[in-house]
Structure formats: structure tokens, C-alpha cells
């Protein structure tokens, strides 16, 4: 649901000149649908993804989670195909399919033998404009989504903490709401709400079609024109900005849930690539995340988990490709006999050090080597490549950013990493949550033989 996909990327550097990166081709249809194609002929398969510019960060209060609910309803039939038939047809054609909703996007995908791409296009084009939203189907699917929420959030201490944490950290930003929605909102969706949401956002001029695999670009463009070209565009109303109000001091909370291990999470308000005043700041924050948590040789593993043995696990993460400003997060679970307070102190010391000392040359080199290698590894997956293009396009940065990534990371200096630490990782913009475990009644097992 919340993907950190843009950690690393692609670019052909001289060492790999013989494995030149395939180019992305772009075409915008007359109705505004943007089509992106990347050929990869290693295997006779294709992934096709339709990305809509809508997600939980587009939602007003009262209907939080409606983008995700609509994602579920998109499998419930159209004029041509009754409920369930979409999935049945894809399956019969040897395909895999699913969909996912994030804060900034809703996306649908099929992976199939490359010769079956038309099957996917026909069905996706059909449900882009001709969805049937029926009260009976909604009633059942509401139960499914409620079960999904129970499974993902209600019965998962870490997820519960994370949800509470975002709700505290953000004031006016819609990132305060969970992607799946608040329970009371889920329970009260009406068919009209979903209809309005569908009408407002599901249109060719609010979507991007991404195709990666064993295809010929021009033929994909022709096929897209054939199936999607006749769809009517919508007049899109501008989205309200809902930028976050400045935070005026540290915020702390305790989350008490049945659990066995305590943990702590720290989140500083930082810009993303989209919102950074100067682009380099986002790349420097990306490197900073790598210094702390770019593998087993990074500082948190080396110093907190192994060196001082304060934590059994520790991590840091930066959402480089968020549409709105976001949190730079650090989280850790204390080792036996250590406390969340000790960890909080230690994590803050790590930040202070980044503000005072330049990172070492070999740390910077290591991150650059990892980014370069990942750029090759990621090309092993069509799906991942499509995800990168879809995400960048959908948050409004443009897919071309994917090609710039390795080069921009390579330009980051130790001074820039120190500078973003000084500028953004400030106590007054810090949010902290402690997970305080509550007793789980000792598990009582009852066993009986049947029959």
C-alpha cells in the first residue's frame, strides 16, 4: 500500500554500455490518456498497468479510504461484463492481475503472455468509463474491506502504531489519514459517494497506461488507440493543495496495544522530490537514508544493532516520491533490557552527528555503488520498471525522472547531506511515538478430537 519503490534506479553508465538501457516511449492520445512503453525482450511476457491520479491523499474527511473501496468495486462489473468476469477472462488467458491503492495513486495491472495484451486493454478500457456500481455488491464488498482492515491494521500492533502516528504528525495534510480509511468512514460509504468519486477521477485524461515487456512500441500505441482512443475525457476539477501547516514544536504520543515488544518511531517533516525547493535536497535526503539504513554496513545496523547492541532492529526511510511533503522516519525495537528512551536518545545522536560531521568518503562511495548495481538488478523485473514509471508520472514529476536518478545521486556531496540534515531534521519538526505493549492474555489452547 505504501511503497518505497524509488530507492534506486536506472541509467546506463559507461561500464554497462553494452547493456544499454532500453528507452521509454511516450504518446498522448487525443483524449488525454498518456501511454508509456518500454520494450524488454528477455521473455515473451508483458505487464500492463493503468494508473489513476487519485488516492487517499485526494480524499476529504468523511469518505477516507474511498479510493481503495472503489479499487475493490472496479472488479464488480460493467455494461458488458458482469461482476467477476474481468478476473475470469484474465485468468483464462493465462494472466495474473490485481490492483493497489496508495496515498497518491490507484493502479490496476495484468501480467500476461505478450500476445494477450489486447485482452487486458479491452477490459481496462471498458471499466475506465463503464463501471456498474450496485448497492448489493457494495454491501458485500464493504464487509471484505472491513475484514481487510482488521487483518492489516486492527490486529497488527506495528500497523496500528503507524496509523496513529501519521494521524498525530500531520495537521492539515491528507497524509494524516490511513489509505484504507477510518472504520467509521468505511462503514458509511454510499453508492452515490462511490459513483461521484468514479465520475470525478476515472477518465483517460487522468490516467497513465504503462506497458513493459516483449512488445513493439508502435503496435502498443496502435492497440491503445484502438481500445482507449474512443473514451470520453472528463473536465478535471483542480485538486485543493492541502499543504501541511508548519509544525511548532515536538509532538509525542504513546500507543498502547496488546503486544510483546516495545518500539519507537521518530518522524521529521521533510520535502519530497516533488515539493523540495531545490531538487538536490531530495537526492541528498535519499543518500542520508542510505547512510543510516542502506544495508548491513549502514550506521543503524553497524552501531545500534551490532556495536552497542541497543536494538534488535533499527531502520530509517525516506519517501522520495511522495506527492506531498512527508516524514523522514527512524524506527527501532530495543534489545532485551534496553528502553525506547535510550533508543530515542541514540537515534537523535545519529541525527546530530549527521548535522555536525561530514559523512565519510567510503560511505558515499558505497551508496553510489549500491545505486548503480540496483539499477541493473531492477531491470530484471518488468513489474518494478513499470511501477517506477507509473509512480513518477502519477505524482506529477514525469517518468523522465527515472532516467536522471543515478546521475543525480552521483552528484550528491557529503556537504549536501550535512546541509539537509541541518535544514530539515529539526527538533521542532519532530514527531515521536512509543509503542507500549499491553498484556496479551496467556494463550489458552483447547484441543479436542472430532468424531
Cβ nearer to another protein, comparing 13 with 345: 13
The reply on whether position 425 binds another protein by CB under 8 A is no
- Asked if 444 is part of the footprint of another protein (rule: CB under 8 A), the reply reads yes
Per CB under 8 A, the segment of 23-31, 54-62, 293-301, 392-400 that binds another protein is: 293-301
How wide is the angle at C-alpha 73 spanned by C-alphas 70 and 76, nearest 5°?
A: 160
Q: What angle do CA 74, 77, 78 make, to 5 degrees?
A: 100
With 0-12 / 13-18 / 19 or more C-beta atoms within 10 angstroms meaning exposed / middle / buried, residue 90 is: buried
Nearer to another protein, 219 or 422 (CB): 219
Residues 250-269 that bind another protein (CB under 8 A): 258-261
Segment contacting another protein (CB under 8 A): 194-202, 242-250, 345-353, 435-443?
435-443
Dihedral angle computed from the Cα positions of residues 63, 102, 426 and 171, in that order, rounded to the nearest 10 degrees: -10
Question: What's the min distance (Å) between Cβ of 122 and another protein?
Answer: 7
What sign for the dihedral angle of Cα 402, 275, 249, 422? positive
Beta strands in 262-408 (DSSP E): 263-270, 311-318, 326-334
Nearer to another protein, 28 or 261 (CB): 261
CB of 371 to another protein, least distance (A): 8
Q: Residues, the chain, total?
A: 451
Nearest to 33 by CA among 19, 46, 50, 20: 50
112 contacts 92 by C-beta, under 8 angstroms: no
> Per CB under 8 A, which region of 61-69, 185-193, 236-244, 309-317 contacts another protein?
309-317
CB nearer to another protein: pick between 221 and 423 = 221
Q: Check residue 25 for interaction with another protein (CB under 8 A).
A: no
Tracing cell 494477450 back to the chain, one arrives at: 116
Q: Shortest approach of another protein to residue 43 CB, angstroms? A: 4
> Please, is 439 exposed, middle or buried when counting C-beta atoms within 10 Å of its C-beta (0-12, 13-18, 19+)?
exposed
Closest CA to 413 of 326, 291, 317, 295: 291
- Choose between 155 and 427: whose C-beta lies nearer to another protein: 155
Least separation in angstroms between CB 244 and another protein: 31
In the chain the first and final C-alpha atoms are separated, in Å, by 44
Q: Scanning residues 109 to 168, which ones bind another protein (CB under 8 A)?
A: 111-119, 122, 139-148, 150-151, 154-157
In the bound complex, what is the minimum distance in angstroms from residue 335's beta carbon to another protein? 6
Contact predicate 39/217, CB 8 Å: yes
Number of residues that bind another protein (CB under 8 A): 100
User: Of these, 305, 340, 354, 389, which contacts another protein (CB under 8 A)?
Assistant: 305
Residues 377-416 that bind another protein (CB under 8 A): 377, 379-382
DSSP assignments along 60-82, one per residue: PTTSTTHHHHHHHHTTSBBSSSB
- Output the nine-digit C-alpha cell for 173: 495534510
Binding mask 34-53 for another protein (x = CB under 8 A): --------xxxx--------
User: What is the dihedral sign for C-alpha 397, 401, 407, 409?
Assistant: positive
Residues 6 or more apart from 114 whose CB is under 8 A from it? 44, 45, 46, 213, 214, 215
Residue 304 beta carbon to another protein: minimum distance, rounded to whole angstroms: 12
Going residue by residue from 344 to 383, which x/- string records binding to another protein, judged by CB under 8 A? Answer: ------------------x--xx--xxxxxx-xx-xxxx-
| Contact with another protein (CB under 8 A) among 59, 71, 97, 281 | 97
Catalytically annotated residue among 21, 26, 59, 71: 71
Nearer CB in complex with another protein: 122/279: 122
Tell me the C-alpha to C-alpha distance, in Å, between residue 416 and each of 336, 361, 364, 411, 444.
Answer: 37, 13, 11, 10, 55
Q: Return the C-alpha cell found at 242.
A: 492541502
Which of residues 119 and 210 has its CB atom nearest to another protein in the complex? Answer: 119
User: For residues 94 and 211, is the Cβ–Cβ distance under 8 A?
Assistant: no
For another protein, the closer of residues 87 and 247 by Cβ is: 87
Which of 2, 4, 80, 422 contacts another protein by CB under 8 A? Answer: 80
CB of 439 to another protein, least distance (A): 9
Catalytic residue status for 85:
no
Output the CA–CA distances (angstroms, integers) from residue 336 to 43, 102, 311, 343, in the order listed: 49, 35, 8, 12
Within positions 183 to 242, which residues make up the interface with another protein, using CB under 8 A? 214-216, 219-220, 222-223
Q: Establish if 15 lies at the interface with another protein (CB under 8 A).
A: yes
CB of 150 to another protein, least distance (A): 5
Q: How far is the CB of 209 from another protein (least distance, A)?
A: 15
Nearer to another protein, 351 or 406 (CB): 406
Region from 13-21, 190-198, 229-237, 340-348 binding another protein, contact rule CB under 8 A: 13-21
Active site residues: 71
Amino acid at each position: 500500500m505504501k511503497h518505497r519503490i524509488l530507492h534506486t534506479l536506472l541509467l546506463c553508465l559507461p561500464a554497462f554500455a553494452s547493456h544499454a538501457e532500453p528507452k521509454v516511449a511516450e504518446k498522448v492520445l487525443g483524449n488525454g490518456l498518456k501511454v508509456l512503453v518500454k520494450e524488454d525482450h528477455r521473455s515473451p511476457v508483458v505487464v500492463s498497468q493503468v494508473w489513476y491520479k487519485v488516492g487517499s491523499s485526494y480524499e476529504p474527511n468523511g469518505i477516507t479510504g474511498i479510493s481503495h473501496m472503489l479499487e475493490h468495486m472496479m472488479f464488480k462489473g460493467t455494461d458488458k461484463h458482469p461482476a467477476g468476469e474481468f478476473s475470469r477472462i484474465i485468468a483464462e488467458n493465462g494472466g495474473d492481475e490485481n490492483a493497489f491503492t496508495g496515498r497518491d495513486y490507484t493502479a490496476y495491472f495484468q501480467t500476461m503472455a505478450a500476445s494477450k495484451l489486447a485482452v487486458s486493454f479491452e477490459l481496462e478500457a471498458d471499466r475506465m468509463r463503464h463501471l456498474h456500481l450496485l448497492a448489493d455488491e457494495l454491501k458485500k464488498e464493504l464487509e471484505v474491506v472491513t475484514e481487510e482492515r482488521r487483518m492489516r491494521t486492527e490486529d497488527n500492533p506495528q500497523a496500528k502504531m503507524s496509523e496513529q502516528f501519521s494521524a498525530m504528525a500531520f495537521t492539515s495534510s491528507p497524509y494524516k489519514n490511513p489509505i484504507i480509511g477510518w472504520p467509521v468512514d468505511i462503514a458509511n460509504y454510499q453508492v452515490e459517494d462511490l459513483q461521484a468519486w468514479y465520475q470525478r477521477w476515472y477518465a483517460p485524461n487522468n490516467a497513465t497506461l504503462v506497458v513493459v515487456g516483449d512488445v513493439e512500441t508502435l503496435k502498443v500505441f496502435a492497440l491503445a488507440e484502438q481500445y482507449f482512443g474512443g473514451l470520453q475525457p472528463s473536465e478535471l476539477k483542480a485538486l485543493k493543495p492541502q499543504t501541511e501547516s508548519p509544525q511548532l514544536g515536538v509532538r509525542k504520543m504513546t500507543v498502547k496495544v496488546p503486544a510483546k515488544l516495545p518500539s519507537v518511531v521518530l518522524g521529521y517533516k521533510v520535502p519530497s522530490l516533488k515539493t523540495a525547493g531545490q531538487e538536490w535536497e531530495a537526492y541528498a535526503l535519499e543518500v542520508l537514508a542510505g547512510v543510516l539504513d542502506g544495508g548491513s554496513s549502514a550506521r543503524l545496523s553497524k552501531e545500534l544493532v551490532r556495536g552497542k547492541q541497543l536494538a534488535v532492529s533499527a531502520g530509517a526511510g525516506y519517501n522520495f516520491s511522495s506527492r506531498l511533503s512527508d516524514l523522514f522516519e527512524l524506527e527501532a525495537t530495543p534489545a532485551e533490557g534496553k528502553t525506547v528512551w535510550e533508543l530515542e536518545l541514540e537515534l537523535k545522536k545519529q541525527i546530530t552527528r549527521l548535522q555536525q560531521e561530514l559523512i565519510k568518503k567510503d560511505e558515499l562511495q558505497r551508496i553510489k555503488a549500491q545505486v548503480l548495481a540496483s539499477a541493473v538488478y531492477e531491470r530484471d523485473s518488468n513489474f518494478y520498471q513499470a511501477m517506477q514509471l507509473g509512480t513518477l508520472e502519477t505524482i506529477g514529476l514525469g517518468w523522465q525522472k527515472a532516467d536522471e536518478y543515478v546521475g543525480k545521486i552521483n552528484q550528491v556531496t557529503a556537504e549536501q547531506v550535512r546541509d539537509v540534515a541541518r535544514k530539515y531534521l529539526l527538533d521542532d519538526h519532530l514527531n515521536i511515538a512509543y509503542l507500549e505493549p499491553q498484556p496479551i492474555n496467556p494463550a489458552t489452547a483447547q484441543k479436542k478430537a472430532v468424531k
